[in-house]
Amino acid sequence: MTDRKQASEFTLAANREVFDSLPFEDERDFEEASRGFIAPLPDGHVLKPNGDFVFDPSRLDFAKGREQAPDTVNPSLWRQVRLIAEGGLFKVCDRIYQVRGYDISNLTVIEGDSGVIVVDPLISAETARAALDLYFEHRPERPVVAVIHSHSHVDHYGGVRGVVDEADVISGKVKVIAPEGFLEAAVSENVMAGTAMTRRAMYQFGALLAPDDQGTVGTGLGTGVSLGTVTLIQPTDEITEDGQRMVIDGLTFEFMPTPDTEAPAEMHWYIEELKALTAAENCVHTMHNTYPIRGAQVRDPQAWSMYLNETIERWGGQAEVMYGMHHWPSWGRERIVEMLSKGRDAYRYINDQTLRLANHGQTPIEIAEEIRLPESLARHWAIRDYYGTISHNVKATYTRYLGWYDGNPANLQPLPPVESAVKYLEFMGGAEAVTKRARACLDAGEYRWVAEVMKHVVFADPSDQAARELAADAMEQLAYQAESSTWRNAYLTGAQELRFGSPVLPDMVDTASPETIHALTLGMIFNYLAVRLNGPDAAGRELTINFVFPDTNQTAWLRLENGALSHSVERTARDPDATVTLDRETLNRIVSGQLDPEAAIASGEVDAKPDASPLIEIISLLDTFSPWFAVIEP
């Protein structure tokens, strides 16, 4: 098997064209990214208490001091890599500090009158703790009095238990503030579909790739994603109203909920005493995703644009600094309005031009090939395709309005991938003939076509190593040309798995971790069990169980019928097949796999009357998920 290849002459030419088309003389980002620097990130990896790896903050150090892009990286993306590689502790303005580079997102610390307010505590408890420790090394150590989650993605809440103790939240000593719908959105995305999303995220974030010139160069949003303990604490305060004001430790926050933008639950805010604004993740230094390729609900670019416009109207004339949940801040009213208005217009353009062309009868693939931003937007560095892309955002927008179907009846019920692949090869003269023709196309630089056609050969016969190698070579060159870090990571991960096989490794991140399960409402836990129910195996079985939770003084019933699992909280059913009494914490441990249910019954932690067989039967029908399913092969 061959290893990684160098850039081809076609890739070199494509990357030269990119370099010649963009304003590399504009150095403002480099000035802003270094402004307020206090201290570098400490040497060494972030580890769990047991020594397991969590994060390497130096993973992009190979890019430092290298102005010229290597042949194997798009020069525009290389510029972004150099900016992201500069991590550490930074002063944003009086009383606001950020730690950048300890995860994909920033940890922001706002100094109140008596303590500190932590904003968006990263993915993992371990990286969040390390980031806060770095801040305390250089600033007075004071208690955390509040945590603010700007939105419902895991990189903005997962490390919360690294910065606060849940007991302090329960006692009222610490507030946890989030936009309305935060918990429901976090659970929907990171638990219900968490396993599939975790596997796909390996492609998006390049978690299995080496960080170097021919491997991952980060994510476009940050250096990479941490692999530590994902935690969650239910918010104590929700922001439900536009313009809602809250004094937090002496500072006046005015909030603007922005639902259905970059996240289903998100919000902007302004601190009037500091003239400091954040647009959360709706305005960062990249084109963002209206749909991330790891999978998620499609976002609304029209709403996104309108909330950015409202942010300009409300605070654009007052704010003196705008800090984000990724990347570096922007200073000065003119620069802030430029950032907000360019973002506003880019997302509006994606929404409106997609619909214009759809109403002319074009399909999502056709529209994605046609739409290009106007030069005034295309040359603005902060909306280049480093993370999201015009191409997949357009397709997502089409799907949001019109669904997956493009209107052609031939696409209503295509054959499944393996059966389709076999038929294609029969029509095309067999695998050997297809591979021979595709190799000629590779030599001509037709990488997109080679990747498309060789997909069929690999799916028809995954053991055909020559076909896998050829498909990998095409994907590798597409990666070297990609301006989007997520596309680069996806292509390179695909190439790696084509060459060496799909990996089977220990689970890296558990989005349904015990800490996360602990934070869910009872209804959310039952919904999670319903997702795990094997419907075909359950068909024809009927069971009803009443649950009693003495520690939380809750009741619920669970009903298995017609291959579906229904429930109702705070009620009980008549004539159940069993009544199960257990503490909520015992249920958490069973659901998260920490406690065997039969052992819990034997020990008396679970009491079932008249017997436990209905509970055991339902549990036996639940699937367990592994994130190591095949992607690049059947």
Q: HEC string of 353-395?
A: HHHHHHCCCCCHHHHHHHCCCCHHHHCCHHHCCCCCCHHHHHH
Please compute the mean of the pLDDT values over residues 551-559 and round it to a whole number. Answer: 96
Confidence bin at 508 (pLDDT 50/70/90): low
pLDDT in tens, 144-184: 999 999 999 999 999 999 999 999 999 999 999 999 999 99
Strand partners, 178: 238
Sheet of strand 321-322: strand arrangement: 245-248, 251-257, 267-271, 276-278, 321-322, 330-331
**pLDDT for the residue numbered 627:** 87
Q: Over the stretch 476-495, which tens digit does the pLDDT of each residue have?
A: 999 999 999 999 999 999 99
Is residue 509 scored above 80 in pLDDT? no
* The three-state (H, E, C) secondary structure of 604-621, written as one string: CCCEEECCCHHHHHHHHC
pLDDT band at 516 (very low <50, low <70, confident <90, very high): confident
Do residues 577 and 563 lie in contact, with contact meaning Cβ atoms separated by under 8 Å?
A: no
Residue type, 356: R
Q: What is the pLDDT of residue 30?
A: 98
- What is the structure's pLDDT at 465? 95
Q: How many Cβ atoms are within 10 Å of 340's Cβ, its own excluded?
A: 27
CA distance 388 to 299: 12
pLDDT digits (tens, 9 = 90+) for 8-22: 999 999 999 999 999
pLDDT averaged over every residue in the chain: 95
- Cβ proximity of 256 and 267 under 8 Å: yes
pLDDT > 90 fraction of the chain, expressed in percent and rounded:
93
- Categorise residue 228: left if φ over 0, alpha if ψ from -120 to 50, beta otherwise: beta
- pTM over cut 0.85: yes
Answer whether 274's CB lies under 8 Å from 96's CB.
Answer: yes
* Contact call for residues 464 and 473 (beta carbons, < 8 A): no
Tokens of 276: 């400091």
pLDDT in tens, 298-357: 999 999 999 999 999 999 999 999 999 999 999 999 999 999 999 999 999 999 999 999
pLDDT over 90 at 512, yes or no: no
Percent of the chain at pLDDT exceeding 70? 99
pLDDT of residue 116: 98
> Would the pLDDT of 624 be above 80?
yes
Burial of residue 321, with CB atoms counted within 10 A of its CB: 0-12 exposed, 13-18 middle, 19 or more buried: buried
> Does the pLDDT at position 194 exceed 90?
no
Statement: residue 217 has pLDDT above 70:
yes
For 253-289, what is each residue's pLDDT tens digit?
A: 999 999 999 999 999 999 999 999 999 999 999 999 9
Domain ranges of the chain: 27-395, 411-500, 521-620
Q: Does domain 27-395 fall into CATH 2.40.110.10? A: no
Longest CA span, the chain: 77
Indicate the residue type of 501: G
Query: Residue 261 is which amino acid?
Result: T
pLDDT at 191: 81
Which pLDDT band, with edges at 50, 70 and 90, does 460 fall under?
Answer: very high
Pick among 1.10.3720.10, 1.20.140.10, 3.40.720.10, 1.25.40.880: CATH of 411-500: 1.25.40.880
Q: Provide the β-strand partners of residue 533.
A: 622
> What is the tens place of the pLDDT at every residue in 283-296?
999 999 999 999 98
pLDDT at 43: 95
pLDDT confidence of residue 10: 98
State yes or no: pLDDT of 190 exceeds 90.
no
Using a 10 angstrom Cβ sphere, with 0-12 exposed, 13-18 middle and 19 or more buried, the burial of residue 380 is: buried
Task: Give the pLDDT of residue 504.
Answer: 80
- Asked if pLDDT for residue 1 goes beyond 70, the answer is no
What mean pLDDT is predicted for residues 49-63? 96
pLDDT of res. 514: 86
Under DSSP, is residue 402 helix (H, G, I), strand (E, B) or coil? Answer: helix
Task: Tell me the average pLDDT across 359-387.
Answer: 97
Tell me the residue length of the chain: 634
Q: What is the reported pLDDT for 507?
A: 65
- State which CATH number among 3.30.1050.10, 3.40.47.10, 3.10.310.30, 3.30.1360.120 fits the domain covering 521-620: 3.30.1050.10
Lookup: tokens for 494: 């695909």
Give the span between the Cα atoms of 299 and 297, in whole angstroms: 6
Quote the CA–CA distance of 435 and 424 in Å, as a whole number.
13
Q: What whole-number distance in Å separates Cα of residue 490 and Cα of residue 215?
A: 11
pLDDT at 304: 98
Q: Is 508 helix (H, G, I), strand (E, B) or coil?
A: coil
